[in-house]
Structures are given as C-alpha cells and as structure tokens.
Structure 1
C-alpha cells in the first residue's frame, strides 16, 4: 500500500512511520507513483514538502 503525504505536520510522515510505512527514495519510485507525484506537483500540492511512503500488507491467518 502506498501514499503520498506531507513530510511534516499533523497526519504527516512521522504518523505513518509509526504505523509501519517507510519513506520511498524519490529517484527509485515506480513509474506509476512517479506520475502521481508529478500530477500532485502540477496541482500545486508541492507547496509543502511531500514524500511517497509504502507499507507491506500482510494477510491475517
């Protein structure tokens, strides 16, 4: 599962890190996620520093 989120502030990256998400290296994003980041930038969402994050989903037994 992935998300793009503000680096700082309420509900931002530190919150997601506490719940198992890791920050993704911007230069190593999959093409589909890199395109989402470009679209966010076009819409002005990069006025605040943002980061892509991911977490592995596990099946419950």
Structure 2
C-alpha cells in the first residue's frame, strides 16, 4: 500500500499510512502499530494512532 503514496522518504509514507489507520483501522491494526512504538522517528505517530484507534473503537461499542 505504501507504493501508492508519492512521498519521497519512506518514513513519510509510513506516517501517512498510520494516520489513515487512525481513521479507518480497527482493533486488528493495533499489533501492527505496536511494532513502531519504540522507533525513533515513527514512535510518536504510532502512539498517537494507537490512542486515536482506541478512542474511536471504544466509542463505537
């Protein structure tokens, strides 16, 4: 999926995908995001996306 985004740097593409997951992802996305929590460049985006997903999915139930 990251090949669909023209961002020149790989981290930019990954950040874009994470932000999209915050809007359309579900609980099955959480383990994928957890792998990025300790990444120096992507950790804060991963943590924010996890929070947003948790908030959104908790509101849906």
Task: Give the TM-score taking structure 1 as reference length.
Answer: 0.31
| TM-score after normalising by structure 2 | 0.31
Structure with bigger helix share is: 2
- Structure number with greater CO (CA < 8 Å, separation at least 6) is 1
